[in-house]
Structure 1
Amino acid sequence: MGFLFARSSGYSFVALALLACVLLAPCQAAKAGLSIKFYAKTCPGVDTIVRSVVAQAVAKEPRMGASIIRLFFHDCFVNGCDASILLDDTLTFTGEKNAGANINSVRGYEVIDAIKSQVEAACKGVVSCADIVALASRDAVNLLGGPTWNVQLGRKDSRTASGTAANANLPGPASSGASLVAAFAGKGLSAREMTALSGAHTVGRARCLMFRGRIYGEANINATFAAALRQTCPQSGGGDGNLAPFDDQTPDAFDNAYFKNLVAQRGLLHSDQELFNGGSQDALVRKYAGNAGMFAGDFAKAMVKMGGLMPAAGTPTEVRLNCRKVN
């Protein structure tokens, strides 16, 4: 079974074509020994539990959907998809939660805790926190109107975390196009996959601190867009935590508006607009802006591939009973 599409997402007309794509596409997840049937006998209701909790969280606060997607990205980019981002600091290591790219940025830990609690009640000690994050991010995308896909499962949870690795591996809001390509290439992801995955910024918000430099100091920005943002993000300082949506047209809908905004020079972060700034990704951004189905298919396949990033061989792992601490 391949991609399915959410109601009113605008993608259903390409469902059959994308089904063929996902069935034929090779992925790192399969190579890593993961399987969509991993819990078929040991915890068959895990998908239902995860989706139910995520649906409640997104209904209460749509922004939470974007936060859960971000949680998955920021976990997988640091030593693989191992739920290391969920670990609280201990006396023996400084974890990832308070790394520069995560503090005041990554949210949704309590949603994962709620899922884990219900999953443990149904199937104690079986389902990893890393798999819960992967399933939750898929459901968050779909519940916001985007595509869905079969999640490869069977990950284990790391017994340690590294704030240093998080600071070294996670691209920042001031990243150049070249550095983004390089960062994703370092994870085995192509420039096309990087651009598709960046489309996750079609939902969510960013703090004023992350885009102040762009709205006051860059030329490749729509003047009306910049002026509106300046109302809540003063140049002189203050208001660092004030939020603005990545996509001010449909801020809580997972669609291809992010790419339309880039073409119109309405990218919120410097790193966003770098994807459409006279560089190698301009043509692809235009294609995604004009073809929602192409973006949906590429995004889903790239999420499966990113979900196949594994910890280094020899990394101590387990299935944590509490996602915030080792057993």
Structure 2
Amino acid sequence: MQGCDGSVLLNSTNQDAEKDAIPNLSLRGFQVIDAAKAELEKQCPGVVSCADILALVTRDAVDMIGGPVWSVPMGRRDGVISLKKDALTNLPSPFASFEQLKSSFIKKGLNVKDLVVLSGAHTIGTSHCGSFASRISKPTDPSLAESYATKLRIKCKPGDNKSLVEMDPGSFRTFDNHYYINLRRKRGLFASDAALVTDAEANSFINSALASSTSNSTSWFFTEFGRSMEKMGNIDILTGNAGQVRHHCALVN
């Protein structure tokens, strides 16, 4: 992962690209980015980067399912390097402890509050069984509610690493604070989710998110999520003469 330079959109060529790394195998919607890019190239070729399109689509997708809206500065340029190993090194692992998560975020200029509110994005989407299989194999991970583990075992049979499971059961298509309710019930899907409740500072931010309205554009969670997304959207960006504006988001010019 090179930064916010659209590198995750590149297809593998001589080496496996980021999108082929295990943490990225559940990513969807590349065709949406490609369609937006194709239309923009018709209207203003070589102007809008894939990195900017990805940042805008992320914001608009969250908005469409009831989430907050945040400012997206434009002018990023696209990277030309995409390596599977970089994604494995730089993306926080679903098996990470709190200290590992905290360290990973600090290296990118993000703090514990950013860690907690950005983890709230797990209120939407799905994950492969392999990302949490070790937690549901008996004996069950003690940080996971046994009743929840029983339900997960029905969906994820031993050795099944590919089936998809909702990250926020019953609310995975709506952006709200239900993720934090699950944390308190020991129903965080990943070990990295459960790790958040092991730290006092992180717990204070979880409490703030829980005190927010379930889905409210002026709530603490929505406001802070938007701020953290703005910060994350500026990590290791390329500007000026660095990188390029790709003609097709899956291919280097």
TM-score by length of 2: 0.91
Report the 3-state secondary structure (helix = DSSP H, G, I; strand = E; otherwise coil) of the residue aligned with 1:260. Answer: helix
Q: After TM superposition, which residue ranges in structure 1, 4 or more long, deviate above 6 angstroms? A: 312-315
Residue by residue over 1:46-103, the C-alpha shift from the partner in whole angstroms, topping out at 9 and shown as x without a partner, is xxxxxxxxxxxxxxxxxxxxxxxxxxxxxxxx22210111112223x5421212322x
Unaligned stretches of 5+ in structure 1? 1-77
Q: 1:295 maps to what in 2?
A: 221
Q: Percent identity?
A: 39
Q: Which has the higher contact order (CA 8 A, sep 6+)?
A: 2
Aligned to 1:86: 9
Secondary structure, in 3 states, of the residue corresponding to 2:165?
Answer: strand
Are the aligned partners of 1:79 and 1:312 in contact in 2 as well (CA < 8 Å)?
no
The alignment partner of 1:154 has SS state of coil
CA distance in 2, matches of 1:313, 1:145: 31
Report the secondary structure of 1:149's partner residue.
coil
Q: Which amino acid in 2 is paired with 1:227? A: T
CA change 1:123–1:312 in 2 (3 A) is closer
2:149 to 226, 230, 233: 226
Structure 2 stretches of 5 or more lacking a match? 214-218
Equivalent position of 1:250 in the other structure: 171
CA contact (8 A) 2:129 2:161 kept: yes
1:190-229 matches, within 5 Å, as 190-216=111-137, 217-229=140-152
* Contact 1:83/1:129 (<8 A) preserved: yes
Deviations 1:2-39 (CA, angstroms, capped at 9, x unpaired): xxxxxxxxxxxxxxxxxxxxxxxxxxxxxxxxxxxxxx
Q: Give me the whole-angstrom Cα distance separating, in 2, the residues matched to 1:89 and 1:215.
A: 33
Q: For residues 312 and 173 of structure 1, do their structure 2 counterparts lie closer, same or farther at Cα, with a shift above 3 Å needed?
A: same
1:120 aligns with 2:46: no
Aligned residues: 246
Partner of 1:33: none
2:83 is the alignment partner of 1:157: no
Contact 2:26 2:126 in 1 (8 A): no
Distance in 2 (alpha carbons) for counterparts of 1:140 and 1:82: 19
The separation in 1 between residues aligned to 2:12 and 2:241, in whole angstroms, is: 18
Structure 1 residues 105 and 315: CA distance shift in structure 2, 3 A: farther
Q: Which residue of 1 aligns with 2:193?
A: 272
CA contact (8 A) 2:76 2:239 kept: no
CA shift for structure 1 position 246 = 1.1
The residue matched to 2:22 in structure 1 has which SS?
coil
TM-score of the pair, normalised by structure 1 = 0.71
Cα deviations across residues 138-173 of structure 1 (Å, max 9, x unaligned)?
001111110112211100001222222211101111
